[in-house]
Structure 1
Amino acid sequence: MAQQSSGMEFLCREYLKNNYIDPETSERLGVKRGLRNPDGTGVLAGLTNICDVVGYEKGPAGEVIPTPGRLIYRGVDLNELVREAYEHDRFIFEEVSWLLLFGSLPKKSELEKFQQIIAEHHNLPEHFIEDVLLRSPSPNIMNKMARSVLSLYSYDERPEDLSLENLMEQSINLIAGLPTIMVNAYQLKRRVYDKQSMFFHPPTPGQSTAEHILSTYRADQKFTHEEAKLLDLCLLVHADHGGGNNSAFTCRVLSSSGTDTYSAIAAAIGSLKGPKHGGANLKVMEQLEYLKAGVEDYRDEDEVREFLRRIIRKQAGDGSGLIYGMGHAIYTISDPRAVVLRQKAEKLAVEKGFEEEFRLLCLVEKLGPQVFAEEKGNKTVCANVDLYSGLIYKMLGISQDLYTPLFAISRIPGWCAHRIEEVVFANRIIRPAYKYLGVRQKYKTLEERG
């Protein structure tokens, strides 16, 4: 092992000796790193009818003017969907899946039929669990979900068919089947890697996606209506975030090449797995533990403010200088998803004994922007959705292993909608340019190299 490590160190030294790109070179040449403009806004790379993410306006001189955040699915504001779900006590994720895929709100008969189709497709293909899941467990559920999606290719009679009808059928199968794959993959992880008992519950007919997840996840299959509603809300707010978010853009890039649905969705899962994207809620929960250990009085704003200041100065937390759960590429004054989750999670936090942790996160949301402004200048930041989603999953008794996979389950309708739009209407391979900085060198023979 020591010899292998030494060999890798040699290879890494050789790489670093011959490869370096100064970030200042990008600015000098006008290269937009991360496909970001100098003011931090995204480069306009495409057109979509699916989702709009609003966090700022542009002034007369092109300056960014912060505004309250809005998330709009197919023209319908997120807050309208939340209001409908709670005023009429309905599970809404399936309706939003329809909205994202088809572009309009379903009639009652259409929604009932769609809900029935989704529930029927919670079951996986015959022998899939034995052949794909049981034979190759993984310690990481996102990794296993990506591999499972690729494996679904072999169970599809028309995996390469890019017709609208087939793309739609594949989308429905993924929206309905991925929750079952996620829970079963987690049970295997418990047995093989955690040395705990595993259990497999068959899907219960007629359940919503949120109810299906809780029913198959919990050993006793019991859950309250309020718990299922809160999980349904999490699925709703994560369902899509525009074509420019990293995982949706990944899906669109692969789709533009003409590849199959399973390759495109597996790639999107791989993108979401990254801690800079879907894995951020885990970092928030880790940070919460640092706060609980470093702050004596959770209600003392001055004490919390100073701890956040130490985090930014890399004197506390994980040393990154980041306050996880704060800041977003688009939202400036507020992230509507974070606002909704905070409002709806408070009651359950009090009931389940998580009130102190909830209040502490609320203080982070309140004080974080102040500390950022004092330490970093006048940059406007706000709490993002990750600040509260991790605590909600914890309150629901869900393992941290599933925090990011649940994000993926939520995002499948959006990914599929973007894939269909890219395949049917864009029809041109995405191919941005990179400027070459290498130095011309003449080939030398082995003898000449010495």
Structure 2
Amino acid sequence: MSFPVRSVLGASRSPLLRGSLSVRLSSTAAKQTTLKERLAELIPIQQENVKRIRAEHGKKSFGPVLVDQVYGGMRGLPALIWDGSVLDADEGIRFRGKSIPECQDLLPKAAGGSEPLPEGLFWLLVTGEIPTQEQVSQLSQDWAARAAIPEFVEEILDRCPPSLHPMSQFSLAVTALNHNSAFAKAYQDGISKKDYWGPTFEDSMDLIAKLPNIAGRIYRNVFGQGKLPAIDSTKDYSHNLASLLGFAEDPAFVELLRLYITIHSDHEGGNVSAHTGKLVGSALSDPFLAYAAALNGLAGPLHGLANQEVLIWLRKMQSKLGENPSDDAVKEYIWSTLKGGQVVPGYGHAVLRKTDPRYTAQRTFALKHLPEDPLFKLVGQIYNLVPDILLEAGKAKNPWPNVDAHSGVLLTHYGLTQMQFYTVLFGVSRAFGVAAQLIWDRALGAPLERPKSYSSAAIDQIFRDKQ
């Protein structure tokens, strides 16, 4: 089952976004609005827009449901509203209608930098608008001011054995942040439904702001990197994260984090982590509880661990073939992988039917910053060989690389070689998209998710009765 891509992308460029842009341009000439102020202006516009869409289209069918989809993990089943991004099978992910190259071009950058600041991407996800440099700087300062984590959360992390997986520690810490949830307290005090978005916004801002401190503490505790430095209120989010990890001295690594967080921030609502965050949030669990659940889904080997599998496969190939293998040797290794009943990690995608633009963005970064890196050169060599082999083998509808085919190689180049930690960085990034949607879900009064389920016997009986 498929739907017209252009109509879906067109819907992301809603009248709300087109109309609100002129409001922003006129109002910001005199005064730079904060993200929360801008959101307060947009919410009533979008509330009316949703009412209009439901009034005009609410009783229309959005497509059939196939039994194979019910058994196949709901693949392709249109069942969620997710405003931050839409995945186009041909063009890749679009954030509020903007492609990755457009985001790289339009979003504000750090002084002397060329990659977009994640702060700007979050502003785009929440409002549908490109922020000014000043608005992004204000957001950086706001997150730095919120970055400290409670002492008891520090103690929880410090008491975790190094053998406990970093993602388990990450989930524990985010869950514990619920202790100070503004939404949980407001709900207990009887807040009106129309005001749910306010404390949800505050919790979401706190969540994103505190993730670098959590990630940095986990990294240093598990891998023995010493005491954490303080957050620098004059630096951007990615620079502070790099500092907490111990890599801020390399400007190229800081730039890599800016790109990494941006391109991993959101990927529609149907992936496990995003959907889990939305589902748990629909029960009015606060953003900390909702995102902790999302992290547990991200930790699964079919979701967030793919870049590790790519790196392991590349290392094994490099160990067997040497640093500069011939094309014939690489082809033979790829075929041996397939004939052994395994997939080529990092290739193929459930939706995309061309090279993942996130892969392309990382490849462009590597060509600029590390063109002679042996692993990067191997990745490029594989890129030239794998698609034809997969097509010949009949192994993939999409034989092109996805984002995971590249990210681990970049992190490894700069010395972040601890693969168990890679999913934590993914988790820091994905919070941006989940948090943005949680804010809008509460602003628009999204209900508790409760899809209908059927037993196998019931499905069988339905079609027997139709015979």
The corresponding residue for 2:313 is 287
Return the letter of the residue paired with 1:31.
Answer: V
For residues 435 and 67 of structure 2, the distance between their equivalents in structure 1, rounded to whole angstroms, comes to 38
1:173 maps to: 206
Superposition deviation, residue 29 in structure 1 = 7.0
Q: How far, CA to CA, are the matches of 1:32 and 1:174 in structure 2? A: 35
Q: CA deviation at 1:160?
A: 5.1
Deviation at 1:232, TM superposition (A): 0.9
Looking at structure 2, the residues matched to 381 and 114 of structure 1 have their Cα atoms a distance apart, in angstroms, of 40
- Within 2, Cα distance between the matches of 1:161 and 1:393? 41
Q: Deviation of residue 95 (structure 1)?
A: 0.7
Letter in 2 for 1:109: E
CA–CA separation in structure 1 for the residues paired with 2:69 and 2:428: 38
**For residue 348 of structure 1, what is the aligned residue in structure 2?**
369
How far off its partner does 1:241 sit? 0.6
**Deviation per CA, 1:124-169, whole angstroms, max 9, x where unpaired?**
23x2454332233452111111111111111335425461111111
Cα distance, 1:215 vs. partner? 1.2
Deviation at 1:358, TM superposition (A): 0.7
Distance change (3 Å), C-alpha of 1:306 and 1:47: same
Go from structure 1 to structure 2 and tell me whether the alpha carbon gap of 1:160 and 1:45 turns closer, same or farther (over 3 Å shift): farther
Q: For residues 272 and 185 of structure 2, what CA distance do their matches in structure 1 show?
A: 24
Give 2:135's match in structure 1, choosing from 110, 133, 142: 110
- Higher fraction of helix: 2
8 Å CA contact retained: 2:334, 2:344? yes
Distance in 2 separating the partners of 1:416 and 1:227: 25
Shift of 1:435: 2.5
Q: Is 2:183 the counterpart of 1:183?
A: no
> Does structure 1 retain, via aligned residues, the 8 Å contact 2:299–2:423?
yes
Q: Distance in 2 between matches of 1:146 and 1:28?
A: 35
Q: Which residue matches 2:435?
A: 416
Secondary structure class of the residue paired with 1:45: coil
CA contact (8 A) 2:359 2:406 kept: yes
Structure 1 residue identity aligned to 2:218: A
Give, in whole Å, the separation in 2 of the partners of 1:223 and 1:99. Answer: 29
411, 424, 427: which one aligns with 1:393:
411
Q: Does 1:403 align with 2:436?
A: no
Cross-structure match for 1:39: none
Change beyond 3 A, Cα 1:27–1:418: closer
1:107 Cα deviation after fit? 2.9
Q: d(CA) in 2 for partners of 1:248 and 1:197? A: 31
Aligned counterparts, 1:9-408, within 5 A: 31-36=70-75, 42-55=76-89, 67=90, 69-84=91-106, 85=109, 89=114, 91-125=116-150, 127-137=151-161, 139-156=164-181, 158-159=183-184, 161=186, 163-190=196-223, 196=224, 198-218=226-246, 222-296=248-322, 298-314=324-340, 321-350=342-371, 355-376=373-394, 379-398=397-416, 399-408=418-427
Tell me, in whole angstroms, the C-alpha distance in 2 between the residues paired with 1:287 and 1:130.
35
- Give the SS at the match of 1:339: helix
Residues of 1 paired with 2:116 and 2:200: CA distance? Answer: 25
TM-superposed CA distance for 1:349, in Å, is 2.3
Q: Which residue of structure 2 lines up, in the alignment, with residue 11 of structure 1?
A: none
C-alpha distance in structure 1 between counterparts of 2:350 and 2:154, whole Å: 42
Q: What's the secondary structure of 2:303's corresponding residue?
A: coil
Question: What SS class does the counterpart of residue 35 from structure 1 fall into?
Answer: coil
Contact map agreement 2:238 2:258 (CA 8 A) in 1: yes
Cα distance change, pair 377–337 in 1 and its aligned pair in 2 (3 A): closer
Q: What is the count of residue pairs matched by the alignment?
A: 381
Checking the alignment, whether the CA contact within 8 Å between 2:115 and 2:258 is kept in structure 1 is: no
What amino acid is the match of 1:345?
Answer: A
Gaps in structure 1 of 5+ consecutive residues = 1-25, 37-41, 56-66, 191-195, 315-319, 440-450
Q: What is residue 4 of structure 1 aligned with on the other side? A: none
Describe the SS at the equivalent of 1:34. Answer: coil
- Partner of 1:159, secondary structure, is helix
For the 8 Å contact 1:101–1:413, the answer to whether it is kept is: no
Q: 1:132 to 1:379 in 2, by over 3 A?
A: same
Q: Distance in 1 between matches of 2:117 and 2:455?
A: 49
Residue by residue over 1:32-52, the C-alpha shift from the partner in whole angstroms, topping out at 9 and shown as x without a partner, is: 41112xxxxx11112232111
| Cα 1:389–1:197 shift into 2, 3 Å | closer
Inter-partner Cα distance in structure 2 for 1:296 and 1:130: 43
Q: Aligned partner of 1:71: which letter? A: I
Work out the percentage of aligned pairs sharing the same amino acid: 26
Amino acid in the other structure paired with 1:167: T
After superposition, the Cα gap between the structure-2 partners of 1:231 and 1:428, relative to the gap in structure 1 and judged at 3 Å, is same
Question: Partners in 2 of 1:173 and 1:277 — Cα distance?
Answer: 25
Shift of 1:267: 0.7
The 1:280–1:295 alpha-carbon spacing in structure 2 relative to 1, beyond 3 Å, is same
Query: Which residue does the alignment assign to 2:33?
Result: none
Q: CA–CA distance in 2 between the matches of 1:120 and 1:184?
A: 18
Aligned position for 1:7 = none
Partner of 2:191: none
One-letter code aligned to 1:110: Q
For the aligned residue pairs, the C-alpha RMSD in angstroms reads: 2.5
TM-score normalized by the length of structure 2 = 0.76
Query: Which amino acid counterpart does residue 205 of structure 2 have in structure 1?
Result: I
Q: State the TM-score, normalized to the length of structure 1.
A: 0.79
Deviation string, structure 1 residues 331-375 (Cα, Å, up to 9, x no partner): 11110000010111123324xxx6221111112222111111111
Unaligned runs of 5+ in 2: 1-64, 188-195, 459-467
Q: Per the alignment, do residues 48 and 28 of structure 1 end up closer, same or farther by CA in structure 2, a change over 3 Å counting?
A: closer
Stretch of structure 1 that moved more, 207-216 or 293-302: 293-302
Residues 211 and 377 from structure 1, CA distance in 2 versus in 1: closer, same or farther, beyond 3 angstroms? closer
8 Å CA contact 2:104, 2:115 repeated in 1: no
